[in-house]
Amino acid sequence: MSFELSLNTGTTPNLTLEEAVEAVATSGLKHIGPWRHLLEQAGGAEKAAALIAGAGLTATTLCRGGFLTPADHQGRRAALESNRAAIREAAMIGTAELIMVVGGLPAAAHLLAGSGGAAQKMSADKDILGARGRVAEGLAELVPYAAEHGVRLVLEPLHPMYAADRAVLSTLGEALDLAAPHPAETVGVVVDTFHVWWDPQLREMIARAGAEQRIASYQVCDFNLPLAADALKSRGMMGDGYVDFPTISRWVAEAGYTGPVEVEIFNQAINDQDAATTLETMTQRYEQLVLPALRGSVPALDAPVR
Interface residue list for a copy of itself (CB under 8 A): 105, 107-108, 111, 124-129, 132, 159-161, 163-165, 168, 170-171, 173-174, 177, 197-200, 223, 225-227, 229-231, 241-244, 247, 301-304
Q: Give the nearest distance from C-beta 104 to a copy of itself in angstroms.
A: 8
Reply yes or no: is the peptide bond before residue 64 cis, omega within 30 of 0: yes
CB atoms within 10 A of CB 141: 15
Nearer to a copy of itself, 1 or 230 (CB): 230
| Closer residue to a copy of itself in complex, CB, 102/275 | 102
Cβ 3 to a copy of itself, closest distance in Å? Answer: 21
CB of residue 139 vs a copy of itself: minimum separation in angstroms? 15
Residue 280: alpha-carbon gap to chain centroid: 21
Q: Which is nearer to a copy of itself, 88 or 126 (CB)?
A: 126
Q: Which strands sit side by side in the sheet containing 152-155, from one edge to the other?
A: 58-59, 31-33, 5-8, 261-263, 215-220, 187-192, 152-155, 97-101, 62-66
Cβ(209)–Cβ(249) below 8 Å = no
Helix (H, G, I), strand (E, B) or coil at 16: coil
Shortest Å distance, C-beta 143 to a copy of itself: 21
Nearer to a copy of itself, 84 or 233 (CB): 233
Residue 35: which of 114, 75, 93 has the closest Cα?
93
d(CA 10, CA 161): 19
Tell me the closest approach of the beta carbon of residue 170 to a copy of itself, in angstroms. 5
Question: Cα–Cα distance between 221 and 228 in angstroms, integer?
Answer: 15
In whole angstroms, the minimum distance from the beta carbon of 164 to a copy of itself comes to 4
- Nearest distance from residue 69's CB to a copy of itself, in Å? 13
Q: For residues 191 and 243, which CB has a smaller minimum distance to a copy of itself in the complex?
A: 243
Helices then strands, each counted (H, E), the chain: 12, 11
Smallest distance from a copy of itself to CB 269, Å:
17
Instruction: Count Cβ atoms within 10 A of the Cβ of residue 13 and give its class: 0-12 exposed, 13-18 middle, 19 or more buried.
Output: middle
Query: 119, 106 in Cβ contact below 8 A?
Result: yes
Q: What is the distance between the alpha carbons of residues 169 and 178, in angstroms, rounded to a whole number?
A: 9
297, burial (CB in 10 Å: exposed 0-12, middle 13-18, buried 19+): exposed
Residue closer to a copy of itself by CB (options 39, 202) is 202
With respect to a copy of itself, which residue has the nearer C-beta, 1 or 301? 301
Q: Which is nearer to a copy of itself, 154 or 248 (CB)?
A: 248
